[in-house]
Structure 1
Amino acid sequence: MKLQDETLKEIVESLTQWIRDEMEKIGGKKMILGISGGKDSSVVAALGVRALGRENVIGVLMPKGEQIDIDFSYDICEFLGIENVTVPIDNISKEYLKTLEKLPKSLMPEISNDTSINLSPRIRMTILYAISQSIEKSRVVHTGNLSEKWIGYTTVYGDNTGAFSPLGSFTSDEVIQIGRFLNLPEKFIVKPPADGLTGKTDEMVIGFSYDTLNKYIRTGEIDDLKIKEKIDKMYNYSRFKFTPIPIFPNDLPIKE
């Protein structure tokens, strides 16, 4: 969906104030976020600078092994003038996997591919929260967008986590438009989204384009019925990732 400049201006102004309000609600002052060098983390970091000041935004780079696009992450931090730190996770991931391999084969015959892929986002989020808890009044902020959320392309207790989500109601193409309105360099907002783990782009992994998905989200229109079926299945299957943990109801009294 193409947004008009006036609409983008209203969105950016509202997002800026919303971030300030959310931080105030939770007693936060500094924003902590993972920096990938792609559009989502770049836009959230830019909004954070606008809302809180660059001195209150800290970017954490967490490459796993050799990351060929790591320069994008360093460059956006330099462009925005935010403090940043690099925490490689390769050795941490290997130690986790070594520990899992020691489990009884009767319990877990092998480590699944899904386990291996989702381990890294969870390690990264653990690092973000560890850093945040040691920096006074800092809060971890979620950087995902609506397109990823729609199909559940996110890891529970990994990149699906954060104190609040500035981009959670915007599709990937709308995030690009917001980034352009914020005058971010094109290389950050048009970089093909990838998890940095599988060696593939997001679109290669999910099997359809974000353009197709975003049009379907906003208009309900889609030409390929097989892709529609796949999107609907991914949507329905992944709703558990975005609902509160179910709590057993009972009638015992609670202090009011």
Structure 2
Amino acid sequence: MFNAEKTKNDMVKWIRDWFEENGRGCKAVVGLSGGKDSSVVAALCVEALGKDRVLGVMMPNGEQFDIDVSHKLVEHLGIEGIVVNIKDAYAGVVGELEKHFGTFEGQAKVNLPPRLRMSVLYAVSQTVNGRVANTCNLSEDWVGYNTRYGDGAGDFSPMAHLTVQEVKAVGRALGLPDMFVEKVPIDGLCGLTDEDNLGFTYAVLDRYIREGICEDEETKARIDRMHQMNLFKLQPMPAFEYEPEE
């Protein structure tokens, strides 16, 4: 049985201890999408460090239809929030790549905005003496539903070992309103929900991760295939082991 209150308290202590060792006095810099993951991480950081040491960064690519949710989270938590629009940077990079390749489409184009956003977060972090929060959860990481060096990056990761259902439970333990915890997850890249992209629900995935049960064999095979294909994202970069001759 998942104990959300105890887990929340343990996470808050872990964040506090991590900052004491790796960034005493620094701010937590959190990219805010309006979804449950960034909302829960921001709330955890507020409880661990205080609202004055949490900075929320909103990074629309032009117009973002649901950015009001992020603004409401900033107001609810009482933290500072800034908006850095990546539209011009995105258009500039796409334009330059199209000069070389004629067209620039597919997954490389889809993954460009999250990588630009992570560059922005690190620029902000270095400007304010901060540490960048990773907001991924176990369910997303399990099937590679993140962008390497994009939303998959960060300095500390509070939720990497929690499933989506567990993240939601922690959010409720933090007292976050349903509008933040239960918001339908949308990738913010191609307009589809996470579950549309994945081809199965998080509830099905979470049960398979925690209990090893997936009643639909086709879905089970899909999850296994995605997990195997994306394991490299979770592992340190392979490095050639050089041993000097004596």
> Is TM-score (shorter-chain normalized) higher than 0.5?
yes
With 167-176 and 20-29 compared, the bigger mean Cα shift is at 20-29
The answer to whether 1:195 aligns with 2:187 is yes
Gaps of 5+ in 1: none
Kindly indicate whether the alpha-carbon contact (under 8 Å) linking 1:146 and 1:171 is maintained by their aligned counterparts in 2: yes
Structure 2 distance, partners of 1:27, 1:58, is: 15
- C-alpha displacement at 1:22, in angstroms? 1.2
Structure 1 distance, partners of 2:225, 2:103, is: 27
- C-alpha displacement at 1:200, in angstroms? 0.8
Question: TM-score w.r.t. structure 2 length?
Answer: 0.96
The answer to whether 1:81 aligns with 2:78 is yes
Structure 2 distance, partners of 1:16, 1:71, is: 27
The answer to whether 1:134 aligns with 2:131 is no
CA displacement 1:58-110 (0-9 Å, x = unmatched): 0000111221111100000100000010011122111110010111x4xxx64
For 2:175, the equivalent position in structure 1 comes to: 183
Matches within 5 A, 1:32-71: 32-71=29-68
Structure 2 distance, partners of 1:247, 1:38, is: 35
Kindly indicate whether the alpha-carbon contact (under 8 Å) linking 1:64 and 1:197 is maintained by their aligned counterparts in 2: no
Match of 2:10, as an amino acid? S
For 1:23, the equivalent position in structure 2 comes to: 19
Match of 1:9, as an amino acid? E
Gaps of 5+ in 2: none
The answer to whether 1:146 aligns with 2:138 is yes
For 1:124, the equivalent position in structure 2 comes to: 117
For 1:13, the equivalent position in structure 2 comes to: 9
Match of 1:166, as an amino acid? P
The answer to whether 1:167 aligns with 2:164 is no
- C-alpha displacement at 1:31, in angstroms? 0.1
The answer to whether 1:91 aligns with 2:84 is no
Kindly indicate whether the alpha-carbon contact (under 8 Å) linking 2:4 and 2:166 is maintained by their aligned counterparts in 1: no
